[in-house]
Structure 1
Amino acid sequence: MKIVIIGGTGLIGSKTAERLRKHGHEVVAAAPNTGVNTITGEGLEKALENASVVVDLANSPSFEDKAVLEFFQVSGRNLTKAEEEAGVKHHVALSIVGTDRLPDSGYLRAKVAQEKIVRESGVPYTILRSTQFMEFLGGIAQAGTAGDTTRLSTGNLQPIASDDVADFVAEAALAAPTNGIIEIAGPERARLCDFVERYLKAIGDTRKVIADPEAHYFGTRLDAGSLVSDNNPRIGRIDFDRWFATAPRK
């Protein structure tokens, strides 16, 4: 079976491609650096020829509100139109747990728009909503940093390792479309500030973490349940300690 992965050279895309190829499938890792651009349409028609499944892992190069919304709308419309013309049987989109609960976040508003395009496209689909990746804990710390402290939300986090995400994405690509949403999450849940503090201690970073219920998370205030799933999520197998023991160090 031919499977096209949009964003196939990125963190999740490359891991997903590896898994699908091991199952004997023809995988096209589509990205601007491989000649496929969902914004301009370059290479899209050719990439989708005879494809049965498309996995959309594309991400915006800018997180600015207007730019990220435009990216997901243009990319989503171009991609689903090309899929319909090519006769693609299944569209798998990776989204984020909490997209519909945090309207103050420009990025999450854009993901809501992307999901809407997928649902209304007419192409059979599965939307996977994932909790935050463990690989992004350092970025969360940096976003809240001023001097030698990092001020972070007390909302809950249930981070998932990218290897688990890739497993779930590959499974979804090989399964029948659900025409619905599946949520995936890591095996441990704690306050965001506590998870980041644990990460910083593990890497020997001396920044002090300040727990602040009013601290914003990329433009929005979090409640306890904003970023976690209580909707019968599928749970990953890799906890923080196991992930950290094998995570590459920069």
Structure 2
Amino acid sequence: MKIVVIGGTGLIGSKVVAQLTAQGHEAVAASPASGVDTLTGDGLAEALAGAAVVLDVSNSPSFDEDAVMNFFTTSTRNLLAAEKDAGVGHHVALSVVGTSRLTDSGYFRAKIAQEQLIEDAGIPYSIVHATQFFEFVKSIADAATVGDTVRLAPVRIEPMAAEDVATAVARATVGRPLNGIVEVAGPEQFQLDELIRLGLRARNDARTVIADPDATYFGARLSENELVPGKFATHYDTRFEEWLALEPVR
């Protein structure tokens, strides 16, 4: 089965391409580097020819509010239109647990808009909502740092390894369309400040992490449960301590 992976050279995309290829599928990594640009539409028709499924794991190169909204709405419209022309039977997209609750954030408002376009397109679809990746511990810390202090809300989070995210997305891609959302998460629950503190300590980062209920998360104010999935989420096995022992922290 031919599966086109938009963002197929990135962190999740490259792992999904490897998994799908190992399963015997024709997994095509599509990105601007390969001549496929979803923002302009360049290369989409050629890449999608003969594809049964399109998986979109691309992300905006900028978190600026206007830029991120333009990226997700323009690229998704172009992609869905090309899928209709090519007769693609299943659109799969990776999104974030809690997206619909984090409307203070321009990034998450853009993800909401992306999901609405997918739901309204008339193409069978599956949306995978994943919790935060272990690989982004440093990025979260950097976004919340002022001077040598990291301020994070003491809210619950169930982070997961990127490899497990890729597994979840690959399963959705080869399965029947859900025409809905599935949630996936890691096996452990942390407080957000605790998770970042552990991650920074593992890389000998001397910044001080403070639990601050007023701290925002990429522009959004958080209540205790906004970053955790519902009771029907699928939980994957990789624990943070195991990941730290095997992977370089980014």
Q: Same fold (TM over 0.5)?
A: yes
What's 1:91 paired with? 91
Name the aligned partner's letter for residue 185 of structure 1.
A
What TM-score comes out, normalization by structure 1 length? 0.98
Matches within 5 A, 1:94-105: 94-105=94-105
> Are 1:202 and 2:202 counterparts?
yes
What's 2:159 paired with? 159
What's 1:53 paired with? 53
* Structure 2 residue ranges without an equivalent (≥5): none
Cα distance between partner residues in 2 of 1:57 and 1:3:
13
Asked whether the equivalents of residues 127 and 182 of structure 1 are also in contact (C-alpha less than 8 Å), the reply is: yes
* C-alpha distance 87-20 of structure 1, shift in aligned 2 (>3 A): same
* Count of matched residue positions in the alignment of Structure 1 and Structure 2: 250
RMSD between aligned alpha carbons? 0.9
Once the two structures are TM-superposed, the CA of residue 236 in structure 1 deviates from its matched residue by 1.2
Once the two structures are TM-superposed, the CA of residue 249 in structure 1 deviates from its matched residue by 5.1
> Are 1:38 and 2:61 counterparts?
no
Q: Deviations over 1:140-197 (max 9, x none)?
A: 1111212222111111111110000000111111101010100011111111001101
* Structure 1 residue ranges without an equivalent (≥5): none
Cα distance between partner residues in 1 of 2:53 and 2:247:
30
What's 2:217 paired with? 217
SS at the partner of 2:4?
strand
Cα distance between partner residues in 1 of 2:72 and 2:150:
30
Asked whether the equivalents of residues 135 and 249 of structure 2 are also in contact (C-alpha less than 8 Å), the reply is: no
List structure 1 runs of 4+ shifted beyond 6 angstroms. none
Q: Deviations over 1:206-242 (max 9, x none)?
A: 2111100101111111111111102411111101011
Name the aligned partner's letter for residue 22 of structure 2.
K
SS at the partner of 1:20?
helix
What TM-score comes out, normalization by structure 2 length? 0.98
What percent of counterpart residues are identical? 52
What's 1:108 paired with? 108
